[in-house]
Amino acid sequence: MAKIDYRAAGVNIDAGNEAVNRIKSLVKSTFTKNVLTGLGSFGSLFRLKPLLDEYDDPVMVQSIDGVGTKTIIARKLNKFNTIGVDLLSACTNDILVMGAKPLTFLDYIANDKLEPEIIEEIVSGMVKACKDTGVSLVGGETAEMPDTYLPGEHDLVGIITGVVEKNKIITGENIQPGHVAVGLPSNGLHTNGYSLARKLFFEIGGYDVNDTIPELEKPVGLTLLEPHINYTNHVFTVLNAGIDIKGIAHITGGGLVENIPRILPNGCGIEIQKASWPNVPVFDVMQSIGNVDIDEMFRAFNMGIGIVFVVDFNDVSSIKDALKGLTDIYEIGTVVSGKGVNIG
């Protein structure tokens, strides 16, 4: 009987080692002076004392997220340098809503067959995003799992760790009727709603990733692959200006309808005026292709708003001044007595 090795079972250890060698210097370029271990250690060490000296009562904040089936768009285009950006943004934005400063990031990349050059491309985008936001990519896992994933498919998961002063945690508990919801724009789907988007464009519409549609500035694939905005600079620009943010909601899966209520106290609802911000063409195109009900669109997609601040009416102008030149800002609604989100 011929000898059997791991490669015959579908796992290429040499390819795994090559991938690590390709990304090692990239990953190291994200390290701050507090990172004490390099890539390849069993665990990552991060020195806390210099950091904790800046806080009176530091609270660690963590979150985990993925990019879902957006990876299928990357595969169709054979373009993988932005989905790592998506991963960091999806995770980071989820802790920013509590006022946390992101510190370290761990990634998990799984596939059916490990291709070192694709791993390098994914991580290169992730590294750029980490450096842009001051986050250290301290480790990760690359899993080659034949028979688990379809050929050419990838699954990406990330874990972000941050810190916030206990008395500065943003919870939404002080939100009251009369407060204003201020929306910052998204640039497309971000990382949510891709199963529906793929059905609409590719199955019902019959489009290919390289097809163009008059309403869209870019071909279908590049429109769908537009990287998820990371709102770190936006949030901390506002916080560092001393503006009292009552609550922040990251508009992910479930859209405005499902995510804003996560920060509202009992007895508070919110009235959203959908005409208060510009339509993003990709959403109009998808709705038209599938004759999708508008309520379903607002449950599946962010509809052009990526993050929402809830503030006192008197602070709206201060936020606009603070973020001038960084992003557009829209007053999209008002907190009212009641429950849930009403979009009119």
Mapping DSSP onto H, E and C, the string for 127-161 reads HHHHHHHCCEEEEEEEEECCCCCCCCCEEEEEEEE
> From residue 131, how far is each of 31, 141, 259 by CA, in Å?
9, 20, 28
At 185, which CATH number? 3.90.650.10
**Phi, psi dihedral angles at 122 (to 5 degrees):** -60, -50
Q: What is the pLDDT of residue 52?
A: 83
Q: Based on the domain organization, do 248 and 164 belong to the same domain?
A: no
Instruction: Classify residue 265 by its DSSP letter.
Output: P
At 36, which CATH number? 3.30.1330.10
Q: Based on the domain organization, do 124 and 271 belong to the same domain?
A: no
Q: Based on the domain organization, do 283 and 315 belong to the same domain?
A: yes
Q: Which residues, other chains included, contact 206 with Cβ-Cβ below 8 Å and sequence gap of 6+? A: none
> From residue 339, how far is each of 135, 336, 342 by CA, in Å?
37, 8, 9
Residue 226 inside a domain? The answer is: yes
Taking 3-state DSSP, the helix, strand and coil percentages for the chain, each rounded to the nearest 5, stand at 40, 25, 40
Q: Which residues, other chains included, contact 124 with Cβ-Cβ below 8 Å and sequence gap of 6+? A: 23, 26, 81, 84
Q: Which residues, other chains included, contact 103 with Cβ-Cβ below 8 Å and sequence gap of 6+? A: 46, 51, 135, 136, 161, 162, 163
Q: Which residues, other chains included, contact 326 with Cβ-Cβ below 8 Å and sequence gap of 6+? A: 233, 234, 237
Residue 1 inside a domain? The answer is: no
Q: List the beta strands (DSSP E) in the chain.
A: 58-66, 101-111, 136-144, 154-165, 180-185, 245-250, 268-272, 305-311, 330-337, 340-343
Tokens representing residue 325 in the block: 């030149």
Report the C-alpha gap between 280 and 218 in whole angstroms.
13
> From residue 335, how far is each of 40, 174, 234, 261, 291 by CA, in Å?
49, 12, 22, 11, 31
Q: What is the pLDDT of residue 172?
A: 96
Report the C-alpha gap between 50 and 281 in whole angstroms.
47
Report the C-alpha gap between 339 and 152 in whole angstroms.
45
Last residue of one domain, picked from the residues 168, 203, 218 = 168
Residue 175 inside a domain? The answer is: no
Q: Based on the domain organization, do 279 and 320 belong to the same domain?
A: yes
Burial class (CB in 10 A: 0-12, 13-18, 19+), 63: buried
Q: Based on the domain organization, do 141 and 206 belong to the same domain?
A: no
Q: pLDDT tens for the chain, 344 residues: list them.
A: 778 888 888 888 888 889 999 999 999 999 999 999 988 889 999 999 998 889 999 999 999 999 999 999 999 999 999 999 999 999 999 999 999 999 999 999 999 999 999 999 999 999 999 999 999 999 999 999 998 988 889 999 999 999 999 999 999 999 999 999 999 999 999 999 999 999 999 999 999 999 999 999 999 999 999 999 999 999 999 999 999 999 999 999 999 999 999 999 999 999 999 999 999 999 999 999 999 999 999 999 999 999 999 999 999 999 999 999 999 999 999 999 999 999 98
Range of the domain at 31: 6-168
Q: What is the pLDDT of residue 317?
A: 96
Q: What is the pLDDT of residue 333?
A: 97
Residue 174 inside a domain? The answer is: no
Q: Based on the domain organization, do 150 and 187 belong to the same domain?
A: no
DSSP codes of every residue in 108-124: EEEESS--HHHHHHHHH
Residue 326 inside a domain? The answer is: yes
Q: Which residues, other chains included, contact 54 with Cβ-Cβ below 8 Å and sequence gap of 6+? A: none
Q: Based on the domain organization, do 188 and 304 belong to the same domain?
A: yes
Contacts 24+ apart (CB under 8 A), 275-279: 276/183, 276/330, 276/331, 276/332, 276/333, 277/183, 277/185, 277/304, 277/305, 277/330, 277/332, 278/185, 278/304, 279/304
* Domains: count for the chain: 2
Q: Based on the domain organization, do 211 and 299 belong to the same domain?
A: yes
Q: What is the pLDDT of residue 126?
A: 97
Quote the pTM value: 0.95
Q: What is the pLDDT of residue 117?
A: 97
Q: What is the pLDDT of residue 2?
A: 76
Among 185, 39, 181, residue whose Cα is nearest residue 106: 39
